[in-house]
Amino acid sequence: EVQLVQSGAEVKKPGESVKMSCKGSGYSFTSYWIGWVRQMPGKGLEWMGIIYPGDSDTRYSPSFQGQVTISADKSISTAYLQWSSLKASDTAMYYCARQGGFGESWYGMDVWGQGTTVTVSS
Amino acid sequence: DIQMTQSPSSLSASVGDRVTITCRASQSISSYLNWYQQKPGKAPKLLIYAASSLLSGVPSRFSGSGSGTDFTLTISSLQPEDFATYYCQQSYSTPQTFGQGTKLEIK
């Protein structure tokens, strides 16, 4: 079965760091992109960025560039999303999703993780 | 960035109705348009990719059309399990962007 399994919920204080994970299984992890999507409480979906684990090619949305770091360890089929200094406004659900690519365009996000909630509160 | 505008933002309909949701891109995205369904507390699910290709396992009452800047998602006969929020997404270029969503509610 093709699946992405995300790490558990995080509760943090402003200024703290966090690194969440997304582990792929059931497919060739290095042959698909992994994208990250934010959903703030009661709001829509926001595309954050994407990484190709095969060569770590990474693209960020300008809205998130410099705010988060996306990385991957292909040896353990895991992608990561991390913050060095959280803000209350980072409170949200974060999803990872698999996406096929073709040149500089991509197909749909066909497999999603279950989501990781991050709560940032003093 | 390419802006994606969905309409309507919300929609009330009855079981058996035919429903159409539209999505407009601020510039041409060829056919790199995807549709997702999201139910409360759940991750989104891909329904249609490349504007009109139905993902395997998705009921045939869902269909998509369009190219360039204007796209539609049609549900031919609403079922109780279809009441959810629907999002379009352009995957033509980065940053990829989502529409604001259309909440489909029971009338």
A41–chain B nearest CA distance, Å: 11
Cα separation, B42 vs B80, in Å, equals 17
| Model confidence pLDDT, tens digit, residues B25-82 | 999 999 999 999 999 999 999 999 999 999 999 999 999 999 999 999 999 999 999 9
Q: Are A70 and A60 in contact (CB under 8 A)?
A: yes
Closest residue in A to B89 (Cα–Cα): A108
The alpha-carbon gap from B11 to the nearest alpha carbon of chain A, in Å, equals 16
Q: Is the minimum CB–CB distance between A58 and chain B shorter than 8 Å?
A: no
Residue in chain A lying closest to B96 (CA):
A47
> How far apart are alpha carbons B29 and B50 in whole angstroms?
10
Q: Does A1 touch chain B (CB under 8 A)?
A: no
pLDDT confidence band for B107 (50 / 70 / 90): confident
Chain A: residue whose CA lies nearest to B42: A114
Q: Which residue of A has its CA nearest to B101?
A: A44
Residues of B in contact with A35 (CB under 8 A): 96
For the cut 90, the answer to whether the pLDDT of residue B101 exceeds it is: yes
Task: Tell whether A63 is within 8 A of chain B (Cβ).
Answer: yes
Instruction: Assess whether pLDDT exceeds 80 at residue A103.
Output: no
What is the 8-class DSSP label of residue A29?
A: G
Q: Count CA within 13 A, CB hemisphere, residue B65.
A: 5
Q: Tokens 């139905």 belong to which residue?
A: B54
Chain B hits for A95, CB-CB cut-off 8 Å, are 43-44
Measured CA to CA, the distance from residue B33 to residue B36 in angstroms comes to 10
The CA dihedral of B17, B18, B22, B28, to the nearest 10 degrees, is 160
3-state secondary structure A47-92: EEEEEECCCCEEEECCCCECCEEEEEEHHHCEEEEEECCCCHHHCE
Taking an 8 Å cut-off on Cβ atoms, the answer to whether B45 and A63 are in contact is: no
Residue B15 is predicted with a pLDDT of 96
- Chain A and chain B share a number of CB contacts under 8 A equal to 76
Residue type at A119?
T
List, for residues A16-74, the tens digit of each pLDDT value: 999 999 999 999 999 999 999 999 999 999 999 999 999 999 999 999 999 999 999 99
